[in-house]
């Protein structure tokens, strides 16, 4: 009877070891998939930043809208991204633009108030134009290095 218990115990130990190894392999696989998904998302952010910079240069988007979007996208990137580049003008201008109504609250404004806000925003855009265009050029310059720094393989695209 002792031999039977030893066999059962050995089988249970083998089962526990196999289960633990299977769980570890599953967790490693899951962590790898999460890293790949994070890289895909970061690559999409970098692509969006590139499109926004191009739209700014071609004047297809207002500087205020571009700055708000670029600022939000930059905030999603990891702090470890390098090389570092000064893009604070986007953040500063986006923060300045927070005073303006957007969306439904803008639609609720009277046409006169909406025009007043637009006029003030256009003046601010004119004042910031050179700084924001220079900032967009710095961003366009660094985007390839940021992509390379992610180590994203072409299979992830």
Residue 59 structure tokens: 């004047």
Q: Is residue 3 part of a domain?
A: no
Q: Is residue 58 part of a domain?
A: yes
> How many Å apart are CA 150 and CA 152, to the nearest integer?
5
Q: Is residue 108 part of a domain?
A: yes
**Domain total in the chain:** 1
> How many Å apart are CA 32 and CA 153, to the nearest integer?
14
Residues 6 or more apart in contact with residue 56 via CB below 8 angstroms: 63, 66, 132, 133, 136
Q: Is residue 71 part of a domain?
A: yes
Q: Is residue 130 part of a domain?
A: yes
Q: Is residue 61 part of a domain?
A: yes
pLDDT for the residue 72? 95
Q: Residue 102 is part of which domain span?
A: 42-151
Q: Is residue 113 part of a domain?
A: yes
Q: What is the pLDDT along the chain (157 residues), one digit of tens a residue?
A: 688 899 999 999 999 999 999 999 999 999 999 989 989 999 999 999 999 999 998 999 999 999 999 999 999 998 888 888 999 999 999 999 988 988 899 899 999 999 999 999 999 999 999 999 999 999 999 999 999 887 654 444 4
């Amino acid at each position: 009877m002792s031999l039977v218990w030893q066999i059962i115990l050995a089988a249970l130990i083998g089962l526990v070891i196999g289960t633990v190894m299977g769980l570890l392999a599953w967790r490693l696989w899951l962590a790898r998939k999460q890293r790949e998904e994070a890289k895909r998302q970061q690559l999409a952010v970098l692509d969006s930043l590139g499109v926004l910079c191009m739209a700014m240069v071609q004047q297809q988007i207002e500087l205020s809208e571009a700055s708000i979007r670029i600022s939000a996208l930059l905030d999603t990137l990891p702090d470890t991204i390098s090389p570092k580049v000064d893009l604070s003008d986007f953040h500063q201008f986006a923060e300045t633009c927070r005073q303006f109504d957007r969306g439904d609250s803008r639609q609720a404004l009277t046409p006169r108030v909406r025009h007043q806000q637009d006029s003030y925003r256009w003046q601010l855009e004119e004042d910031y134009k050179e700084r924001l265009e220079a900032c967009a050029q710095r961003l366009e310059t660094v985007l390839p290095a940021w992509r390379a720094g992610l180590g994203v393989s072409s299979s992830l695209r």
